[in-house]
Amino acid sequence: MATIDVHPQTATHHHDEHGDDHAHHGNFWTTYIFSEDHKVIAKQFLLTGMAWALIGGMLSVLFRLQLGFPEANLGWLKPILGGWLTPEGKIDPEFYLALVTMHGTIMVFFVLTAGLSGTFSNFLIPLQIGARDMASGFMNMLSYWFFFLSSAIMFISLFISTGPAAGGWVIYPPLSALPQAISGSGLGMTLWLVSMALFIVSSLLGSINYITTVINMRTLGMSFTKLPLTIWAFFLTAIIGILSFPVLFAAALLLIFDRSFGTSFYLSDIYIGGEALPNQGGSPILFQHLFWFLGHPEVYIVLLPALGITSEIIATNSRKPIFGYKAMVGSMLFIAILSFVVWAHHMFVTGMNPFLGSIFTLLTLIIAVPSAVKIFNYVTTLWKGNIRFTPAMLFSIGLVSFFLTGGITGIFLGNSAVDIQLHDTYFVVAHFHLVMGSASFFGMMAGVYHWFPKMFGRMMDEKLGYLHFWLTFIGVYLVFFPMHYIGIAGFPRRYYTWTAFETFSGFADLNMLVSVAAIITMVAQFIFLFNFIYNIFRGKLAPANPWNATTLEWTTPRLPGHGNWVGEIPTVYRWPYDYSKPGSKEDFIPQHIPYSETPESNLPHENDEIKLEMGGARAIVVEERKH
């Protein structure tokens, strides 16, 4: 007979000082600006992340204009770009590199790390585990304001006279370590480093809070095996963040020393303008090791929350239990561990020992296994499901599509012999934009559409959601699929023009197609923006549980106050995916419904085993009975 896991910390947690009327005592500043309520902080992360997504997207449109229409005169952009245009109306080569650098930094860190993790970890962890709030509301508030401060400094760097940081989002030395190298290596790079240091502090504060909350503040009955997959994903993401972000902090700190204090961690035997610099003994490869030790786990810091959100939405809208719950948790755990031991596959061309390269190739190919487990489990959950194609469900299925197509090209790039040929070509750009960028962005969109009713108490417009999905889904494939072809042909990334190379003149039409698709995809995001903002104020009032979901957040009031539940927090009796259970009146049974309150056919037999026929497959479900 299985037992219910009760925590000493949660036994008295039903009645605490954070009652539902807690929010009424605050003024405007403490309720909306410096709030300690996890739901308000989640919305702050979401709105800041959306603002950055617009800026990052507009930057990509600027450099796609340059690439797709190399002969065009962009003089009409002079009011915006000013001196960053050449007299012929082309984007200045140094500013082009700055555009690419800022686009990558903004999208990876500010949108897909802070915007995705910051929003949904904050919003869902207390609501889905049955907690009044995060373990530390004050630390949670600090985590947002460190992010905001980091954002403000990065935003200011876009407007300084020497231009923002230029050196690719990976800011490899010596370009980033020598302030005199190019204009983007000066003040812009200093502001980039300060901004990222503050961002890392924000990320660590958030991660510590998420982990503490999940371990210590689960409600009665909420054992680890009853956690929704979203919570597992946020929990493991926070662990990865705590272990990997400090390494980037150390890398940035040594870079600041090299730039400002005359050290030589990354610099050795360099000549500028024929003059030898005094630096010796450093290694720029050291920076790459440190950067990618964060950079590869960062891929999963961005992806895992999106995969967790997708698991929840696919199960809910297939009206079926998620297939292979334990396998899904195990695959996320395996991905989290392996993400730390594959970083050097970004460095096959640095002169690495081929034997070492073969080890990283092997580890990289192994990480495809848990990723494939997730794909198969999603597909099997969808198989013979009673599927509802809500906008959130479409974006979730879109994520699975990108994760698959982008993941397949990862097998090529993980092989050192092939990667040496494809390194720094558009093939790499296509791969990581599909598997990491687009997949995570679709996970974020799916989450917004699905939990919008709980965030704002209103519904988003479904028809606009469908339009947004199809334009974005088709647009993303039209942008990144052709890049594989031009990448195999050797088309290099981060070049502001390709017209100097006769070899690439045959790809003019493909480049134009990619640019047009990128612009249309960007315009499609304004449909979402209108849908989002308009329905916060004018949307149809949401029912208490619009998707008939089983998890705890739908047991709160329509717009929960600070404290989430009025009175007692529900006790958990069952796992989070009790959908379409034979014999039940409804096709879903929420987690807080005891077994004694479900029809006789749902009660366990004496030996606690029920043999069911579900979806054509035999399943043995071992159930718990409350003592």
Could you tell me the sign of the dihedral formed by the alpha carbons of 31, 35, 40, 45, in that order? positive
Supply the pLDDT for residue 9. Answer: 41
Q: Does residue 152 fall inside a structural domain?
A: yes
CA angle 294, 295, 298 (to 5 degrees): 85
Supply the pLDDT for residue 501. Answer: 85
Supply the pLDDT for residue 33. Answer: 83
In degrees rounded to 5, what are phi and psi of residue 275? -105, 130
Number of compact structural domains in the chain: 2
Residue whose C-alpha is closest to residue 506's, from 516, 495, 498, 517? 498
| Range of lowest pLDDT (227-241, 325-339, 549-563) | 549-563
**The residue to which tokens 């993980």 are assigned:** 414
- Region 182-196: mean pLDDT is 93
Q: Does residue 594 fall inside a structural domain?
A: yes
Supply the pLDDT for residue 245. Answer: 95
**Alpha-carbon distance 231 to 234, whole Å?**
5
pLDDT band per the 50, 70, 90 thresholds, residue 331: very high
- Is 549's pLDDT higher than 60? yes
What is the CB neighbour count within 10 angstroms for residue 12?
Answer: 8
Last residue in a domain, options 179, 211, 227: 227
Q: Does residue 423 fall inside a structural domain?
A: no
Q: Does residue 476 fall inside a structural domain?
A: no
Supply the pLDDT for residue 483. Answer: 94
pLDDT band per the 50, 70, 90 thresholds, residue 11: very low
The answer to whether 132 and 564 have CB atoms below 8 angstroms apart is: yes
Burial 305-333 (b: 16+ CB within 10 A, else e): bbbbbbbbbbbbbbebbbbbbeebbebbe
Q: What pLDDT digit, counting tens, does each position of 102-146 carry?
A: 999 999 999 999 999 999 999 999 999 999 999 998 999 999 999
Residue whose C-alpha is closest to residue 480's, from 529, 444, 443, 441? 441
Residue whose C-alpha is closest to residue 179's, from 194, 169, 161, 166? 166
Q: Does residue 607 fall inside a structural domain?
A: yes
- Is 360's pLDDT higher than 50? yes
Supply the pLDDT for residue 78. Answer: 87
**Alpha-carbon distance 272 to 53, whole Å?**
37
- Is 7's pLDDT higher than 60? no
Supply the pLDDT for residue 26. Answer: 67
- Region 79-88: mean pLDDT is 86
Last residue in a domain, options 205, 227, 249: 227
- Region 428-454: mean pLDDT is 95
Q: Does residue 66 fall inside a structural domain?
A: yes
Q: Does residue 397 fall inside a structural domain?
A: no
Cis peptide bond upstream of 543, omega within 30: no
Supply the pLDDT for residue 588. Answer: 87
- Region 187-211: mean pLDDT is 96
Q: Does residue 156 fall inside a structural domain?
A: yes
**Alpha-carbon distance 415 to 592, whole Å?**
48
Task: Sort 508 into a burial class: Cβ within 10 Å, 0-12 / 13-18 / 19+.
Answer: middle
Q: What pLDDT digit, counting tens, does each position of 368-402 carry?
A: 999 999 999 999 999 998 999 999 999 999 999 99
Q: What pLDDT digit, counting tens, does each position of 137-147 carry?
A: 899 999 999 99
Q: What pLDDT digit, counting tens, does each position of 491-522 carry?
A: 999 988 888 888 888 889 999 999 999 999 99
Last residue in a domain, options 190, 209, 227: 227
Residue span of the structural domain in which 151 resides: 26-227
What CATH number is associated with residue 116? Answer: 1.20.210.10
Please, what is the average pLDDT of the chain?
Answer: 88
pLDDT band per the 50, 70, 90 thresholds, residue 627: very low
